[in-house]
Structure 1
Amino acid sequence: MTAQILDRGLTSYRIGDPAGLYPIFDATGSTIAPGRWNTAGTPMIYTSEHFATALLEKLVHGSGRLPPNQHFITITIPRGLSYEVLSPNALANWAKMPATTSKRFGERWCLEKRSLILIVPSAVARPERNILINPAHAEFRHIATSLHEPVFWDRRLFEG
């Protein structure tokens, strides 16, 4: 894959606790609890292309409990920045656990700084996509984030 240049701006979403140990728009958590696309040595910021996908991603990692004090931010990635898109068919076993294949791929992408963002499929909502952001990339400073706003969870999501 080679980096492309965005011909339009992108928006993505991230959910977190603004009173937590780390800011919502921060990669530290990914070094403590690496996700599907990174190892502890490759910090990246996981975001979702849609707010509903961000909710699903938070729910799948929340062990069925209502997450306390969750807020969301809107992330604006302006046109002219670099990106790559990973097709689900381009990386065999990307969704398998343990996530060895996807971690290796994400680590290489991050360390090589090939692009600012990597658009990947969501394992929890296959037609949807997540947007990985490399905070070590030179273009990172061009990203803008909104003020955080509370997430209002529908309690029916947590009923047995």
Structure 2
Amino acid sequence: MTAQVLDRTLTCYRIGDPNGRFPIFDATGSTIAPGRWNTPASPVIYAAEHFATAMLEKLVHGSGQIPKNQHSITITIPKGASYEVVTAAGLKDWDAVPPVASKIFGEDWCQARRSLILIVPCVVARVERNVLINPGHPEFRDVETSLHEPVLWDGRLFATDP
């Protein structure tokens, strides 16, 4: 796959605990608990194209309880940054459990530093996409983040009664 160049600024979102073990905009957690698209040898920062998708990702990995002390950041990827896109049709078994094809693809992408970001399909909301950011890529220094703001969860997301 060949990297392309963004023709516009891309905004994405990430949610985390600013007082947790790792800062919100940090890849260390992905080496301890790798996601669908990485292994411990390929640290990446997972983000979502939309704020609501970032919330869904946080909820699907949670315990069914309202997440404590969650904050969001807006991540700005500048025009001119390199990117690649993986589509559901372009990578067979990307959504398999356990995730093998996606981990192999993501690790290769990360270690080869082919692009700053990798845009991938989202399992929890199939029409949405997630954005993987490679902190080892030379363009990473151009990425900007906002100050973090509290996430206000609607309690109905966690209600057990209809």
TM-score interval (norm. to shorter): over 0.9
2:29 aligns to what? 29
Aligned residue identity for 2:104: R
1:57 aligns to what? 57
Instruction: State whether structure 2 residue 92 is matched by structure 1 residue 111.
Output: no
Residue 103 of structure 1 and its aligned partner are, at CA, apart by 0.3
Instruction: State whether structure 2 residue 134 is matched by structure 1 residue 134.
Output: yes
Instruction: Quote the Cα distance in structure 1 between the aligned partners of 2:97 and 2:65.
Output: 22
Instruction: Quote the Cα distance in structure 2 between the aligned partners of 1:95 and 1:87.
Output: 11
Instruction: Quote the Cα distance in structure 1 between the aligned partners of 2:30 and 2:117.
Output: 15
1:8 aligns to what? 8
2:19 aligns to what? 19
Instruction: Quote the Cα distance in structure 1 between the aligned partners of 2:100 and 2:65.
Output: 27
Residue 43 of structure 1 aligns to a residue whose secondary structure is coil
Instruction: State whether structure 2 residue 118 is matched by structure 1 residue 98.
Output: no
Which sections of structure 2, spanning at least 5 residues, go unmatched?
none
Residue 90 of structure 1 aligns to a residue whose secondary structure is coil
Instruction: Quote the Cα distance in structure 1 between the aligned partners of 2:19 and 2:63.
Output: 21
Instruction: State whether structure 2 residue 78 is matched by structure 1 residue 82.
Output: no
Instruction: Quote the Cα distance in structure 2 between the aligned partners of 1:39 and 1:33.
Output: 8
Percent of residue pairs bearing the same amino acid type = 69
Instruction: Quote the Cα distance in structure 1 between the aligned partners of 2:23 and 2:43.
Output: 14
Residue 52 of structure 1 and its aligned partner are, at CA, apart by 0.2
Instruction: Quote the Cα distance in structure 1 between the aligned partners of 2:145 and 2:132.
Output: 15
Aligned residue identity for 1:96: A
Please give the root-mean-square deviation of Cα atoms over the aligned residues, in Å. 0.5
Q: Deviations over 1:90-112 (max 9, x none)?
A: 10110110001100000000000
Instruction: Quote the Cα distance in structure 2 between the aligned partners of 1:122 and 1:87.
Output: 10
Instruction: Quote the Cα distance in structure 1 between the aligned partners of 2:42 and 2:135.
Output: 10
Instruction: Quote the Cα distance in structure 1 between the aligned partners of 2:159 and 2:130.
Output: 27
Q: Deviation above 4 Å: which 4+ runs of structure 1?
A: none
Residue 34 of structure 1 aligns to a residue whose secondary structure is coil
Instruction: Quote the Cα distance in structure 1 between the aligned partners of 2:104 and 2:149.
Output: 34
Residue 47 of structure 2 aligns to a residue whose secondary structure is strand
1:154 aligns to what? 154
Residue 64 of structure 1 and its aligned partner are, at CA, apart by 1.1
Residue 65 of structure 1 and its aligned partner are, at CA, apart by 1.5
Residue 63 of structure 1 and its aligned partner are, at CA, apart by 2.2
Residue 87 of structure 1 and its aligned partner are, at CA, apart by 1.2
How many residues are aligned here? 160
Q: Deviations over 1:126-158 (max 9, x none)?
A: 000000000000000000000000000000101
1:48 aligns to what? 48
Aligned residue identity for 1:155: G
